[in-house]
Amino acid sequence: MGAGNRDADAVHRVRTAVASALAAHLAPDDPVVVAVSGGLDSMVLLHAVAAWARADGGTGRRVHAVHVHHGLRPNADADRDHVLATCQAWEIDAKWYAVSLAAVPPGERRGVEADARRLRYRVLASAAHALGARCVLLAHHGDDQVETVIWRLLRGTSLTGLAGMRPAAERDGLTWLRPLLALPKADLSAYARVCGVPYREDETNRDTRFTRNYIRREVVPRLTRIQPQLVHAVGRLAAILQEEDAWLDEQAAAWVDQHAEWHGGGCRVSARSLAHLPRPLQRRVIKIILTCLASEEFTFSHIESVLHLASSSQPSGQSHLVGGLRAWREYDSLCLGQASAMEELRFRSGGVAPVAWTLVEDAQLAWPPGAPAWQFVCRAWQPEEGVKADSVWQLRLPPVERVDIRTFRPGDRLVLPTGRGRKKLQDVFTDAKVPRWLRGAWPLVCVGEDVVWVPGVIRAGVWLLDPGHRHGWVIGAARV
C-alpha cells in the first residue's frame, strides 16, 4: 500500500472515530464544544468535527472552539492568535479565556502542570455550560494513553489509574469525550498532511527534563522496538481494566446504597459490615463516600487510614483526612464528614425539649419534632400477650396516661431490670456500646421522674406490667 493510500486510510479512521463518538453522545440540537490548544492534536480534532458538522449527519450543528490561555509560555499569545485566526477562516465560533496560576490558593497548589490542568478543565466546563453543551471534546490520542499509563505506573497507582484515560467520562455535569483515544498519533499527523491542517508546535515538548517528555521521546520509542503495536496493546489493556474497574465501582456503589446512612454533611457505615467485604471493595466503598464528601483530592493513603480505623481493635478513634474531613469510629459506627457533620450524625443532638406523649390506641410519634430520627407507635396491650416484651425495641407498660420522652441528663440513673439496685445511664450506654456522640440524642422514655425504657438498650425494673393488670400499652420504637 502506498503512502497516499495509508494517509487516506488515516483520514478515514479519524473521521469515523469522531462521527461515532458524536453520534453516540449528542442529541440532534446539541452544540459541539472542542478544547483547542492550537497544537496538532486539537487542530486535527477541530477540523474533523467541522467536517462532520458540514456533512448530512451534522447539519445545523453549532461548533465552538474554546482556547484556554495559561500565560505560561513565551509563545502563548501566538498560540491563541493562531486558534482565533484559523477558526475565523473555517467559520467556527471561537472563544478564549485567560487563567492565572496565582488564582490557585496556596493550600490547594499541586504543582504547575496539575494546577494548570485543574484551571483549564474548570474554564472548559464553565464555557460548555454557558453554551448549553452537554459534551466537551478533548484531543487525547493513543500515544497519550501509552504515556499516561506508563507515567501512572511509575508513580504508583490503583486499578483506576492504571486503566488510563476514559474515552468518555462524566464530570461537572458534562461528558468529556476523547474520540481519538484509540488512534495512534501517526494517524493525526497523516490527517494534517492530507487536509492541510495548520498547527503550532509547543517548544517545551522537546525538553526531556520534564518527565512526560522523557517518557514520550526516550521510553516509548524503546518499548515500540519491543512491541511495534504498543498503542494497540496498551489501549487493549486500558479497555479491559476500565471494564473491571467499572464493575468494582458498581459493586461498591450497590453496597453504599444499601448500607450507608447519610445525615447532613456526613456518612455512617457499620465497621463490621464493611469488614465482611473483600479488601478491594472496602477501598471502593470508602472512595465513593469520600468522593461524595470531599472538596479536595484525596489519596490512597487517606483511604487506607480510614480502613485502618475501621479494622482497629480499639473501639474508638479518629483520623484527619483532606479538606477538613475527618473519619471517626466508636464501636461499630464508622463515620466520615466535616467536623461540623459530627453534630448532624448525632441526629441533631442537644437542645431537644422533652415531649409529653399522651397514650391512645394507634398513636404515633416522630421524635424529635421537626427533625425526626425515631418513630414510636402505641397500641393497647391484651392480657393474653403476656407481660414480657418481645425485645428491647418494645415496651409493655401499665395503663398510664402519658410518657415523657427526653434525652440524657448528667447523673441520670435507672432501676436495673431485676428491680434491685440502680445504674448510671452513662454506664448502661457504655455496656451497650452506644457511641458517645449518639448518647446525647438517644431517647429516654420516662414516667414521671423514672426512666422506664431506653429503646433498643434496656427496660428498667419499674412501672412493670403484672398478670393482675387488665389494661396496658405496647409501645414500639424504630430508628429512621
- At 348-403, the pLDDT tens digits run 444 467 899 999 999 999 988 766 778 999 999 999 989 888 889 999 999 999 99
Alpha carbons 468 and 64: distance in angstroms, whole number: 84
CATH superfamily of 3-241: HUPs (3.40.50.620)
Helices (H), 91-158: 112-130, 142-155
For domain 260-345, is the CATH number 3.40.1480.10? no
Helix H or strand E segment including 284: helix 279-293
Query: Is 158 among the annotated ligand-binding positions?
Result: no
Q: How do residues 125-158 score in pLDDT, each as one tens digit?
A: 999 999 999 999 999 999 999 999 999 999 888 9
| Average pLDDT of the residues in 437-462 | 90
| pLDDT value at 7 more than 80 | yes
Average the pLDDT over each of 20-24, 241-245, 406-410 and give the range with the smallest value.
Answer: 406-410
26-61: burial string, b at 16+ Cβ within 10 Å, e else = beeebbbbbbbbbbbbbbbbbbbbbbbbeeeebeeb
Query: Is 350 among the annotated ligand-binding positions?
Result: no
Query: Is 370 among the annotated ligand-binding positions?
Result: no
Query: Is 42 among the annotated ligand-binding positions?
Result: yes
Q: How do residues 417-435 score in pLDDT, each as one tens digit?
A: 888 889 999 899 988 888 7
312 close to 303: Cβ distance less than 8 angstroms: no
Q: How do residues 280-329 score in pLDDT, each as one tens digit?
A: 999 999 999 998 887 667 888 999 999 999 998 887 788 888 877 889 88
Alpha carbons 459 and 387: distance in angstroms, whole number: 13
Which three three-digit cell numbers place residue 89? 477562516
SS3 120: helix
- Percent of the chain, pLDDT > 90? 60
Residue 350, pLDDT score: 44
Query: Is 323 among the annotated ligand-binding positions?
Result: no
Q: Which has the closest alpha carbon to 182: 53, 24, 21, 33?
A: 21
| pLDDT value at 344 more than 60 | no
Query: Is 349 among the annotated ligand-binding positions?
Result: no
- What stretches of 47-197 adopt beta strand conformation (E)? 63-69, 93-98, 135-137, 168-171, 174-177
| Average pLDDT of the residues in 254-281 | 89
| Average pLDDT of the residues in 181-205 | 94
In angstroms, the Cα distances linking 191 to 20, 44, 138, 228 are 17, 7, 17, 21
Residue 348, pLDDT score: 43
423 close to 435: Cβ distance less than 8 angstroms: no
Q: Can you give the residue ranges of every domain in the chain?
A: 3-241, 260-345, 355-479
Q: How do residues 19-60 score in pLDDT, each as one tens digit?
A: 999 999 988 788 999 999 999 999 999 999 999 998 855 544
Q: Please, which pLDDT band fits residue 347 given cuts at 50, 70 and 90? A: very low
Which three three-digit cell numbers place residue 359? 397514650
